[in-house]
Structure 1
Amino acid sequence: MPVKCCFHRSPTTETTVCSENMDTLLTNQAGLDAFRTFLKSELSEENVELWLACEDFKKTESAEKIASKAKMIYSEFTEADAPKQINIDFSTRDLISKNTAESTLKCFNEAQQLIYSLMAKDSFPRLLKSEIYKKLVNSKQVGNHKKWLPFL
């Protein structure tokens, strides 16, 4: 499901391009590394770390591992005073707390979707204007990764 972002040149085309590029960036190692570096510079790397932890969590098959991973993600990212606490509203945090008690593969879906939306609307567009992005575009690292580098 495409997430609208802040590109307003042509609502339909730009929104699709932004969402596709965000998805591609998150699955491309060079893009992901650049995004992490950028988020770290903005003191918000916990967002992409939660998103990645959720992606890994969804691949878990053992019920025992699901429960332990759910507790780890909850304690690391969502509970009050977590070391990498994400910025989410109380109702979402409360829902995650209840869902974590049941430990299903869907217990973090709301948080992951909320964080994805935040990154797509806010962090990703700022990345595209950053020095980190400009350096990546001008470097030899880009190579075959131009597909996630929009508007080149």
Structure 2
Amino acid sequence: MRENLAGVSSQSMAFTDCMKPIDLSTEKKGIKRKNWRNRIGFLLKTKSSQSILHLMRNRPYRPTADDVNEWAQSFDTLLSHKYGKVAFCIFLKSEFCEENIEFWTACEDFRNHTSRKEMVSKANSIYEEFIKSEAPKEVNLDFHTKNAIIQSLHEPTATSFLAAQRKVYSLMENNSYPRFIHSDLYKELCTAARGEGKHIKS
């Protein structure tokens, strides 16, 4: 894991990526803990008809100890691992800021489109869902970045969302990712991956 992550604690991290007042209430914290405990049970099951983000459906899979340890090496490594990304999504949902990873994923998908019609449609969909003011999953972007996206909506290119995607990526890497690696969720994943997590219930 990168040196700048050493010694980072959830108390010292700035919660700039998930700044929603309701998150700070004791009641919500209790709900969040319960939610991730329920979801981690599905993640760690070796056989389950349940699914997490449609990636786990009918897959008798359990992350190995090496898999889970590698997730702490870098944010890129975590996101490049299918189930590492799922675990990170669960964590973001527990913090009520899953819109960041959803936006990043939408931008990745956007770059796979080649036809102008598809790009225009997808670009406008991303704008409506994540960029415009009061969007249902609005991400934290500055005016200049938002304005550049607006200007490109009629003639989008593969790089139309690149600046915004990089900003959100950096936000997750510097804030949510260290908290994930130091979270109880990650610790339980490590324990379960070593074969000691049978007590975790779904």
CA contact (8 A) 1:22 1:124 kept: yes
Per the normalisation by structure 2, the TM-score is 0.60
| Equivalent residue number for residue 44 of structure 1 | 97
Cα deviations by residue, 1:58-108 (Å, 9 ceiling, x for unpaired): 111111101100000111000111110001111111111112232111110
| Equivalent residue number for residue 200 of structure 2 | none
1:5, 1:98 → 2: CA distance? 39
From the CA coordinates, give the structure whose radius of gyration is larger: 2
Greater RCO between the two (CA within 8 Å, min separation 6)? 1
1:91-106 equivalences in 2 (<5 Å):
91-106=144-159
Cα deviations by residue, 1:14-69 (Å, 9 ceiling, x for unpaired): xxx99962112112121111100111111110000011011111111111101100
| Cα-Cα RMSD | 2.4
Aligned residue for 1:59, secondary structure, equals coil
When residues 40 and 88 of structure 1 are mapped into structure 2, their CA distance, relative to the original with a 3 A threshold, is same
Moved over 4 A (4+): 17-20
Counterpart of 1:111, as a letter, is: A
| Equivalent residue number for residue 74 of structure 1 | 127
CA contact (8 A) 1:57 1:69 kept: yes
Per the normalisation by structure 1, the TM-score is 0.78
CA contact (8 A) 1:26 1:32 kept: yes
Gaps of 5+ in 2: 8-69, 196-202
1:8-19 equivalences in 2 (<5 Å):
none
Counterpart of 1:130, as a letter, is: S
More helix by percentage:
1
Aligned length: 132
CA contact (8 A) 1:51 1:116 kept: yes
1:112-151 equivalences in 2 (<5 Å):
112-140=165-193
When residues 5 and 49 of structure 1 are mapped into structure 2, their CA distance, relative to the original with a 3 A threshold, is farther
Counterpart of 1:7, as a letter, is: L
> In percent, how many aligned pairs have the same letter?
41
